[in-house]
Structure 1
Amino acid sequence: MASPQPIPRLVLCETGDPGVPGLESYSSYCVKAHRGLKYLGLPYERRFGIPASFKKYNPTGQVPVLLVADEAVSGSSDILRRIQQLAGRTFHETDDPKLAAEAHIWEEYADTAVSGFLVAARWADERNWPRVREAFFRPLPPLMRPLIALGFRRKLVSSLMARDVWRAGEATCWRKWQEQLDALELRSPTDGFWLGRFTVADIALFSHLHSFRQEETPWQRDQVAARPRLSAWLDRVDAHTRQKAPADDVPRAVAS
């Protein structure tokens, strides 16, 4: 990649900080953006708001959105591509096109299949809904909270039906989820990273799977924990991406 230029001001538009140690956001896509920025050592600011408040940057009203000076980059995958350009290097630090292609496939799997189960765990699973409602809607005025929460829930469960995640019912959804976890457990590396070296596959898979490992989804959290190889890999990626890169690896200073 080309040599990095001075880094413009970076602002990550996202939902509020959950106040959970080791979890930057309840949005797994925002977690993905955070971990990519931290891994590349890019300084950035955070701007909180409900997703609709960022429609001027992204007409879909979805987060994350990364403001690169006057440029708005929406969608976690596009954000990761853009910040690699800014840093002047890739996550995997190699020009191997096959590695990049496989990493992209795993990223798509994480962003579609795994994220669908996460939405189901939070918004459709009755066991989790009281905890999710309390955690996600706590900032709202108490009188408005139930109505707004119910509206969001209906919309998201409807999207799960359209994505065929919840169409066959709860039992089928969680049977398939356990099958996916079993396959991921068998595929998990015993050491190192998903494709041998660190890639975007690690960031994407981690961001969604780590989001299951929270108090709001205890059954799903315990299912992940029951897979030791998968859990150990998640812990390795967590440690590898939680802090910014060492000073010697940080690209150019932020432009004034």
Structure 2
Amino acid sequence: MISDTDGDGLDDGLELGQGFAPLKPDTGNSGILDSEKFVSLNLSEETLRDVLTPENKALPSISIFGVPDFDINTTVENASEHESIKNIVGVVGFPIDIKTDKDFESAEISFKISEEILKTTDINNLAVFYYDETNDTIEFLETEVDEESNTIKTTVDHFSIYGVIDIVRFAQSWGIKDILDKLANPAEEAIPPVAEIGQADIVFVIDTTGSMGSVINNVKTNITNFVNTLIENNVDVRLGLIDYKDLEEDGMNSTKI
């Protein structure tokens, strides 16, 4: 039995599902084979089965603008035990490792946050991150928050490991948490009883190289949220800002304090 009647490289069932004609390799006569045309589709629960579990507190859904057989040629796996991610403080739910050999233009990755998490976490403190394998770092992405549906999402044009992170907890893990704890519970001999506000000196070091253009707004938002948290914890903050850039990218004297 022939499953690709018109020989365009796309199974007849997928053609019908996307509104293509299984007897015409180029439905619409656009000059592009049906198997190479980009369409909008959602990854199936079968493809996401490894991460759609009760244990996952950030359930993903992924919408693609890509080739019609994208879903059946894509895998999504739980990356919680990835060596570079498993010890990062603030990760919520399962980071997901998305792999495919199919073409696509863009993907919207959404995470539905569980009520259990939101009992103790402000959804506005959550962001989508991705793992940069080349530099062995994580990067926060511009994140849209929908408080009504308990969902956060971002749009990407490449695949890697993506996940959800509490940016306040992550920032506190740099050592700020110890400062907050001491200021919240000061020793009597260290701070006079009349003192109501502690003080901290914090410097933000921000990469503003041209390549950071797509995420710099999210960086600004994350810093604002973090500073607000310090204020809520009665910390009198003296802030410093270092702006640095790649010399080869933006020239000499591009770092400012």
Q: TM-score, normalization: structure 2? A: 0.26
**Higher relative contact order, chain-length normalized (CA < 8 Å, sep 6+):** 1
Q: TM-score, normalization: structure 1? A: 0.26
Structure (1 or 2) with the greater strand fraction: 2
Larger Rg: 2
